[in-house]
Amino acid sequence: MDESLSKSLEYAERLKTFNNQLKLLKEKCLENNIYYIQGHQFTINLSLINYCLTYMNIKKTNEAIFLDDYEMPVKITDIKSFHNDITDQYQRNLNQYFVEYNQLVKDKGEI
């Protein structure tokens, strides 16, 4: 086989492995962002965090209705505490994602 073709195929295989590993990291981060409160499931994302912040900005922190992952309404009575919990979990997961992503980039070598 022509050397340049062989190198291209080797490059393609490494890229495929890298992309697969990256998808797995994303999935892991997504799964780790699942949070339960009052028996309801929430997947923490920026939209949820900002929704809490909106209430906190208008000083309405005692109670509000949120929609869980299945669009069921839930009354959250301590929005500040809820916001702290989800932000903390989200940040921890992003940190882990960041560390593992950097390791993956380092391991992939020159692509």
Partner 1 sequence: MTKGVLLFAHNNSTVDYVKQANFCAGQIKKHLDLPVCLITSDNFNEDHNNFNHVKVVPKPNTQQIKTYNNVNEKHKDFWNNTSRPDAYSLTPYDETIVMDTDYIVNNANLNKVFESNEDFLINYKAQHIDFESRYTEEMKYVSDVGIEMCWATVFYFKKTERTKKLFQLINHIKNEWEFYRFAYQIGNKVYRNDFAFAIAIHMMNNFNKTAWPKQLPSKLFYVTDKDSIDSFKNNKWTFTFERGTQCQITDMNIHIMNKIGLNKIIDQYE
Q: Does 6 bind partner 1 (CB under 8 A)?
A: no
Q: Does 16 bind partner 1 (CB under 8 A)?
A: yes
- Reported for 43-51, long-range contacts at CB under 8 A and 24+ positions apart, including other chains, are 43/69, 44/86, 44/89, 44/90, 44/93, 45/90, 48/86, 49/83, 49/86, 49/87, 49/90
One of 10, 13, 63, 88 touching partner 1 (CB under 8 A):
13
Q: How far is CA 36 from the centre of its chain?
A: 15
Nearest distance from C-beta of residue 72 to partner 1, angstroms: 8
Q: Does 93 bind partner 1 (CB under 8 A)?
A: no
Question: Which residues would be at the binding site for partner 1 (CB under 8 A)?
Answer: 13, 16-17, 20-21, 23-24, 27-28, 31-32, 34, 36, 38-41, 70, 100
